[in-house]
Structure 1
């Protein structure tokens, strides 16, 4: 249970910090943090929680990461379902908190499901921030999750300097957001996508399948690549 609570709180912090920065701080005229600030916020959430609770649960905070570590031989299949449930519950709880806070603003009139990026949701075609196609979105999410898992697997390898793993992983997530916020509003994390889409509904919810399928496939491929092509052995 300690592992599951760690995954719950870690994923909560990721969604609250990352999506919260996008909702509350990105668009303030002249003072807003913009895309770069949101990218950094997502990276910082993972970096901080990796050191806070990573030693308890492994610091996945993301169903795709759990799948990738399983494919790479670092995580047992029997724990996949419980980890993913804890991650999704943490993400949804964070989204609920963000929605509650938004309701406290005088000008808030509800979420607009017809707008790209509503409530920091992910999307493609008309729901991509810059109008990128479904194919572009799929390739982006697949490739970026693949490389995210390669960083995670490499940084946490028994032959690597594990003390700096959290920094490498956090900076990798920052870079991923710098690349892909204009394309999909950046997922690489099905739990993060699910929490926001559930509150927005409409087309963002119907597009959610892509933000489960592409990251998980990318993560599994990364796990297999690292295990079979890159993994160091004692020999």
Structure 2
């Protein structure tokens, strides 16, 4: 099961980068910010339905860190997830690069769906603002995952609020930094974009991890304790002589009254 889970994390992250980041690289001018946000949300929803019951479909090192900090996953398993996620992100970006090279005139160097701040931000957000934005956006995503997940897995309709959260953070974050909230999603494209994209990628690894850890800490403060979440028992009614007591009464045996 552990091998299957790691394979799912590798493949899931690969597909997330290829299709969702691909919506920026290959179709950004056609679909716009809304289309890109929906692409990330819909791809994650599809992946959750495919891999959620096996690995939890984290496909994001910040989500996995949140699970570890929340006490839902041991660090050894998380290390395997992180390796698979970063490898999947790089392979997904490699496949996207191969496809993008077949499009004449498509700009790859310095862009390629990478994240950035300062002159590389659409609104020129500075380094401190970019760090805070990525931390806050990742906080929302990881908090929603922890709220709806069963232990370390997101299955069934629980994938819907997670996908919606990912779409929303992209709507807010694309004008700011291009939206990372996922270190594996940022590293792969930055390798191929090179230059400033690669020199700034540290922020898009560090800030989401801080946001994920913070989400786990806040979730521990807000979640109900097991005792509080259990329904109160129904009050017991005093039992009277029912139909079962009739034979005993006929036999001259006094019925036992419940106390």
Q: Tell whether the structures are fold-level matches, with TM greater than 0.5.
A: yes
1:231 to 1:224, Cα distance in 2 relative to 1, 3 A: farther
Provide the aligned length of Structure 1 versus Structure 2.
224
Name which of 196, 218, 233 aligns with 2:226: 233
Deviates more, 1:187-196 or 1:201-210: 201-210
Equivalent position of 2:48 in the other structure: 50
Equivalent position of 2:176 in the other structure: 183
Question: Shift of residue 79 of structure 1?
Answer: 1.4
Contact 1:73 1:227 (8 Å CA) reproduced: no
Equivalent position of 1:131 in the other structure: 124
1:111 to 1:24, Cα distance in 2 relative to 1, 3 A: closer
Question: Shift of residue 162 of structure 1?
Answer: 5.5
1:35 to 1:85, Cα distance in 2 relative to 1, 3 A: same
Equivalent position of 1:16 in the other structure: 18
Name which of 78, 81, 84 aligns with 1:80: 78
User: What is the CA deviation profile of residues 189-217 of structure 1, one whole-angstrom value per residue up to 9, with x for unaligned ones?
Assistant: 00000001111111111111111111101
Q: Deviating runs (4+, > 3 A) in structure 1?
A: none
1-structure distance, mates of 2:148, 2:43: 17
Secondary structure of 2:175 counterpart? helix
Secondary structure of 2:72 counterpart? coil
Question: Shift of residue 220 of structure 1?
Answer: 0.5
Taking structure 1 as the reference length, the TM-score comes to: 0.91
Equivalent position of 1:150 in the other structure: 143
1-structure distance, mates of 2:145, 2:208: 14
Question: Shift of residue 228 of structure 1?
Answer: 2.9
1-structure distance, mates of 2:99, 2:218: 42
| C-alpha RMSD of the superposition | 1.5
2-structure distance, mates of 1:93, 1:162: 26
2-structure distance, mates of 1:101, 1:163: 33
Question: Shift of residue 163 of structure 1?
Answer: 2.9
1-structure distance, mates of 2:167, 2:196: 27
Larger Rg: 2
2-structure distance, mates of 1:83, 1:231: 28
Contact 1:130 1:183 (8 Å CA) reproduced: yes
Q: Does 1:111 align with 2:84?
A: no
Question: Shift of residue 221 of structure 1?
Answer: 0.9
Question: Shift of residue 231 of structure 1?
Answer: 4.0
